[in-house]
Amino acid sequence: MTIEGLMILLALLIALICGVLLCTTHQARRQFTRRYNHKSSERRDHNAVLQPWTFPLAAPHVSHRSPALVATPAHVISLQVGSQFDSRFPIVKSVKKLLNLEEYSTLNRMPIARLLGGRRPYLIVGLVLTLLLVVLVACQPVAPTTSTGAAGGDTVPAKLVIYSGRNENLIGPLIAKFSEETGIEVEVRYGNTPELAATILEEGQNSPADVFFAQDAGSLGAVSKAGILAPLPADLLNDVPAYLRSDDGDWIGISGRARVLVYNVNELTEADLPDTIWGLTEETWRNRVGWAPTNASFHSFVTALRILEGEERAREWLEAMLANGVQPFPNNNTIVQAAASGEISVGLTNHYYLYRFLAEQGEGFGARNYYFRQPNAGSIINIAGVGILKTARNPESARIFVEYLLSRDAQEYFAQNTFEYPLIESDIVLPDILVPLAEIATPEIDLSDLADLEGTLTLLQEVGALE
């Protein structure tokens, strides 16, 4: 049970005790009065004048202002009886004193006592006090649930909701490790990056997501363009080079990936492959090339092509590829498998998909990566990155998650387990199979310019690439 819950129970218990004590005092007073009046009635006439230490309480036939006060025994209450219980239960005396109940004339003039004909005043007061305490406790703000992180001992919000365009097989183990180390409960919604971006835009202020973990900069840029992402702390932004994060500082690259051409090693050598993506439109490659037109990284590639060469040239290339019999695939994994099996000769994909197959199947796997010799859209360096939503219900958990992804341990995970490029400036050693970024002929492009996802999708629909 939380501390807040214990405080509420304690307050209710105190209120209940106050009510019981007040009611007990009232009941004991009534019993004493009945016994006293019963004995007195045997010795005195019912019309006897009351002694100075008694006072009639709300007798309907008696004037409270009369100097000669007369009442029946049933309406007589002794003031001396209360003092016995007050001495035994100081809390009762304190409450009475606080409410000025020492004078019965005052109590009798209280609206609620008059409304009830002067009956059971202590019972009413007890119930009212109980109700007031319950209301006061219920109105107290409840602090968010917290948990103690494994590192540093700081208390942090214990919940995090991630919309992830990254495959669960890729980042699931890393997220599980993060949750274990920090104590933060993580809920992940996996899906296609463009679809998740569209979902966030549709949900708007009602999105339950705290973090958008995207496969590419284009989708992050689209969400950023809509004004949905919150600015990231400067200390996090400075962990990566400026060209690998948003110009507005609301998303940041976590790992890098290079666009490549995967090819069948039993059919081709690197000498057989073109210098740029335009060579793939030649007759030599008819029906031999594969792409994944619904994939987020492909969308960013096409957006880069639009930026680098213009709208018309991008349309021309897409139409030429379709006319040359390019083969559509649902994702990058299936492209690599098709290239290795000989279903296609080459395919446009990201570099790291091949290395998972090599890790599982060894050097005998029938495909390898090729990096275009000349800078072009087919060799851009894109990123997988994250942004925190302005509507995040757990912004502190989100910040801690982003910080964790940029830690040395997480960056080494990307390098060694998913074969992506670490982005923090450190001495992390790359696996031998990774070509250093400095050796890749990449074009100069601002990743923030890849935000026009809508324009790219429109173009792909117009040329028939998404059919």
What is the pLDDT at residue 407? 96
For residue 467, what pLDDT is reported? 82
What residues pair up with 387 in beta bridges, in sequence order? 212
Question: What average pLDDT values come out for the chain (467 residues) when binned by 10 residues?
Answer: 52 55 49 48 43 38 39 38 46 47 41 42 49 45 40 60 94 96 97 94 96 94 94 94 93 96 98 98 98 94 97 98 98 97 98 93 96 96 96 97 97 94 88 90 92 93 94
The last residue of one of the domains, among 341, 356, 379, is 379
User: Within a 10 A sphere around the Cβ of 221, how many other Cβ atoms?
Assistant: 30
The residue out of 138, 158, 183 marking a domain boundary is 138
Phi/psi for 265 (5° steps) reads -75, -20
Q: What's the pLDDT score for residue 456? A: 95
User: How many helices (H) and strands (E) are present in the chain, helices listed first?
Assistant: 17, 14
Confidence (pLDDT) at 8: 56
Question: CB–CB of 152/178 below 8 Å?
Answer: no
| Selection from 332, 381, 331, 385 nearest residue 223 by Cα | 385
In single-letter form, the type of residue at position 278 comes to W
Write the CB contacts of 15 (distance below 8 Å, at least 6 apart in sequence).
Answer: 129, 130, 133, 134
Within a domain: 464: no
Distance between CA atoms of residues 422 and 411, nearest Å: 5
Structural domain contains residue 281? yes
Total domain count, the chain? 3
Q: Are residues 69 and 217 both part of a single domain?
A: no
- The whole-angstrom separation of Cα 266 and Cα 250 is 45
pTM above 0.75, yes or no: no
* One domain, residues 359 and 392: no
Residues 305 and 239 in one domain: no
Same domain, 295 and 252: no
Please report whether residue 208 resides in a domain: yes
Give me the residue label for tokens 């949905």: 228
* Same structural domain, 396 and 252: yes
**Residue 453: its pLDDT value, please?**
86
User: CA separation (Å) from 92 to 5, 88, 111, 180?
Assistant: 26, 9, 21, 52
Q: Is 225 helix (H, G, I), strand (E, B) or coil?
A: helix
Query: Which of 114, 138, 162 delimits the end of a domain?
Result: 138
Domain-embedded: residue 444:
no
**CA dihedral for 440, 446, 452, 458, sign (positive or negative):** negative
Residue 467 lies in a domain: no
DSSP string covering 24-38: HHHHHHHHHHHHHHH
Residue 435 placed within a domain: no
Residues 321 and 238 in one domain: no
- 409 SS3 class: helix
User: Which are the contacts of 39, defined by CB distance < 8 A and separation ≥ 6?
Assistant: none
Domain containing residue 201: 146-256+388-428
96 with 63, same domain: the answer is: yes
Q: What is the CATH number of the domain that holds 283?
A: 3.40.190.10
Specify whether 316 is located in the same domain as 280: yes
